Amino acid sequence: MTWAGDHRKKWTPEERAAIHGKTGGRCAYCGEPITIRGMQVDHVIPMEFYRVYAAEGKDLNDVDNLLPACKSCNNYKRSLTLDKFRLALERMPMVLARDSVTYRIAARFGLVIPAPHAVKFYFEQMQEGAGHDDP
């Protein structure tokens, strides 16, 4: 039996440079600058869906399914789809208020200001700025 990890590949320096350049050297999700060396390659459609897409003749390692990510965004996204990742991020203020005494105290003293809002990823903002609708 194979699993998604069996289908990951080692990216060539040229492939890494092309992926890094997709968002101008920034994390596709949070927009923080990242170096090519510090960049992680994220599969927009997670590799956990490999069997489904492979059966349709699609390759999840295709450059169209890859985005540059910082380590923290890539680790937090894990195997989530974009919609589920966005929802997890949008729920953070509620989760912090529920689970973190430190957060609640900081909020009471005005040290952090909860500002729940819809999350728009950096690559989406770039596409809007360029007038594109496709990911």
Bridge partners, residue 26, by sequence: 33
The verdict on residue 135 lying in a domain is no
pLDDT tens across 42-96, in order? 999 999 888 888 888 888 999 999 999 999 999 999 999 999 999 999 999 999 9
pLDDT tens across 3-42, in order? 445 566 889 999 999 999 999 999 999 999 999 999 999 9
Please say whether the beta carbons of 113 and 93 come within 8 A.
no
The verdict on residue 69 lying in a domain is yes
- The helix (run of H) or strand (run of E) holding residue 70 is none
Q: Give me the domain span that covers residue 126.
A: 4-130
CA separation, residue 117 to residues 8, 21, 67, 89, 104 (Å) = 34, 28, 23, 10, 18
Q: Give the C-alpha separation, 96 to 115, whole Å.
A: 12
The verdict on residue 102 lying in a domain is yes
Domains held by the chain: number: 1
The verdict on residue 12 lying in a domain is yes
The verdict on residue 92 lying in a domain is yes
pLDDT of residue 124: 97
- Whole-model pTM: value is 0.85
The verdict on residue 45 lying in a domain is yes
